[in-house]
Amino acid sequence: MNYTVNLLWDSEADVWVATSDDIIGLVLESGSLDVLIERVRRIAPELLELNHQPIEHAKILFKSERLEEVYA
């Protein structure tokens, strides 16, 4: 089973935010993208189990998005 996790940059809070429509209850944030991905990897199996979602052969597709203003 494949699960998608969206990683969005919140410039006002200066953090990355992870959410997922596929993994119920997943909402995490971190100032580092690498740290956030590692946190998702650790918590996702627990959330899947708690929500009785398939975990065998589970894979996570991370989609990141960061929009920044360009200054001259």
pTM, to two decimals? 0.90
CA dihedral 40, 18, 32, 39 (to 10 degrees): -10
- The rounded percent of the chain whose pLDDT value lies above 70 is 100
pLDDT over 90 (residue 72): no
Question: Tell me: the pLDDT tens digits for 47-59?
Answer: 999 999 999 999 9
Instruction: Calculate the average pLDDT of the chain.
Output: 96
Task: Domain 2-65: give its CATH code.
Answer: 3.30.2390.10
Residue with structure tokens 């119920």?
24
Residue with structure tokens 């597709």?
61
Segment holding 29, helix H or strand E: strand 27-30
